[in-house]
Chains A and B, each alone.
Chain A
């Protein structure tokens, strides 16, 4: 078992092992869509597909369809309103979040 070059073996511990490691995943702080007090509504007719809202959204919750039309991921959108503020054609409106009866 020689090691002329440095080899590295990553192997699980053989005793009870709990260590603070994580991997990137959705919802590390829950479904943050529940934080909203208002939600962005995109007017697809006004939208020019400039992608500014997609660029500036802090949460990565404005997504692009194949034709680059944008839509919102309401599970995680926090309702900050940056998308509405940067839209050059005012195609996004922030409307109060209203309980629709579903969770």
Chain B
């Protein structure tokens, strides 16, 4: 049935539909209403689960991991500094191969304090072994969260999953969301599966030391799970599409990108604004499209290469930056495409700065002009400053 939900409430609904048994979270803007809604659902008897009101985010993920290792489906949510605080536990959870789902409300990192959207906190977790997905709108948030349980508990994968949603833009904005019925989800989502449990019957100890050689092979095993996840994510998306009518394109959503000459690559809610820009550009005669990255891990290298290798130009928008180099999406994509196309990376929207459809369109026009003028463009970093500062001269850096 259709409900008007904020992104955070959509996450809570999804967790409820997935029948989580234990949740543990610490409040942090802009994730707080997820925790509040889950508490309310539990205390009203709508959700049969235990909520552990921990005293820190580090403890939140540890408690979630403990519950999952004991055999219960568990869930947590966080953002920004909370995600950074629990960073070591992210590594521990993925390396333990215990399936867990965590929602992350993407938010900028201080100093100074900033509670608005930025992708830095999420891209900072790429190395940990978690599968990381980012949604564009509230409906996708709900669908992706439910799918996340099935992806993480697939025996070919057995890795934890992050579901990202942009802070405030999605978390606090109301939109109509089609919420599936509980019995339909019960039919679609299998009972929980995991590779082992830590119980008196299993007698298993997890995490004691191992030889360097065996440790290496454990790392290899995580990568094998990530590679397998590429196929699993696609399968799960298709299966969900058949059951509930919404298929998102698997790892990458191709929006008018097949016939396009120039393609924007980005992830998150601002893809909606970029899609508006495509209209503007096509009216101006520029054949533009979007490859929206839905999952940054596993990195969809094959799909991106297949879709983009023969384009006239690829314009990457990063809502984060790796200081000292450039945007993370640009770095990964240019490595995947290694010189196959003209490519430029734009740093925009940091700290929640608004990026309008006109901005996307103007950036593309500028890029197209550069390509047609120069023929060969490799432009790792172009700053789309906030409106107020657009006349600031970009510092020349010694190359």
Contact = CB atoms under 8 A, between A and B. Distances in A.
A contacting B, Cβ–Cβ less than 8 Å: yes
Interface of A: 1-4, 6-24, 28
A6 B214 CA distance: 34
B312 interface: no
Nearest to B154: A14
A6 B186 CA distance: 11
B17 to A, nearest CB: 12
A19 B195 contact: yes
A57 to B, nearest CB: 22
B221 A18 contact: yes
Given A15-B228, A18-B220, A19-B196, A1 B205 contact: no
B158 A13 contact: yes
Contacts of A6: 19, 21, 72-73, 191-192
Nearest to B215: A20
Given A13-B225, A23-B204, 12 more contacts: A1-B186, A8-B191, A8-B197, A10-B202, A12-B195, A13-B97, A13-B158, A15-B155, A15-B225, A17-B195, A18-B218, A21-B196
Contacts of B193: 8-11
Nearest to B229: A15
Contact of B203 (A15, A18, A20, A23): A23
Nearest to A9: B193
A16 B191 contact: no
Helix, strand, loop or mixed for chain A's interface? loop
Contacts of B196: 10, 19, 21
Contact of B195 (A4, A7, A13, A24): A13
A57 B380 CA distance: 66
Contacts of B218: 18-20
B187 A12 contact: no
Contact of A18 (B73, B206, B217): B217
Contacts of A18: 214, 217-218, 220-221
Nearest to B209: A20
A7 B21 CA distance: 11
Contacts of B183: 2
B128 to A, nearest CB: 16
B246 to A, nearest CB: 21
Interface string B151-182: 00001111000000000000000000000000
A21 B189 CA distance: 28
B289 interface: no
A10 B156 CA distance: 13
A20 B95 contact: yes
A24 B192 contact: no
A16 B220 contact: yes
Nearest to B203: A23
A7, A14, A19: residue with the most chain B Cβ atoms closer than 10 Å: A19
B207 interface: yes
Given A14-B156, A22-B208, A7 B191 contact: yes
B386 interface: no
A19 B221 contact: yes
Contacts of A23: 203-205
Interface in B237-293: none
Contact of A8 (B97, B157, B192, B225): B192
B77 interface: no
A1 B202 CA distance: 26
Nearest to B204: A21
Interface in B89-107: 95-97
